[in-house]
Amino acid sequence: MDIRPISTEEDYKDALGELSACFNNEPHADTTDGDRFEILLTLVEAYETKHFPVDLPDPVEAIKFRMDQAGLTPNDLVPA
């Protein structure tokens, strides 16, 4: 199995390309292809966590966003 760390944007794109081919026909666990798939997923996740961090939203803004999604108004929350 020729797997190496994802160090560059090109490595990242190559790994995504290989993974995308597997999503429609995901390899079975406990096979060589399944192991490769899981390892690549782990490497991509680690790269994305390091290079594309996602900050947690402001709690009030998160509540407002969810209220908007559900079509709620502040008055709808009064019973809570």
Residue 3, phi-psi category: left (phi > 0), alpha (psi -120 to 50), beta (remainder): beta
pLDDT in tens, 27-65: 999 999 999 999 999 999 999 999 999 999 999 999 999
Across the chain, mean pLDDT equals 93
pLDDT attached to residue 58:
95
* pLDDT exceeds 90 at position 2: no
Question: Nearest to residue 46, comparing CAs of 6, 14, 1, 18?
Answer: 6
| Contact between 19 and 40 (Cβ < 8 Å) | yes
pTM, 2 dp: 0.69
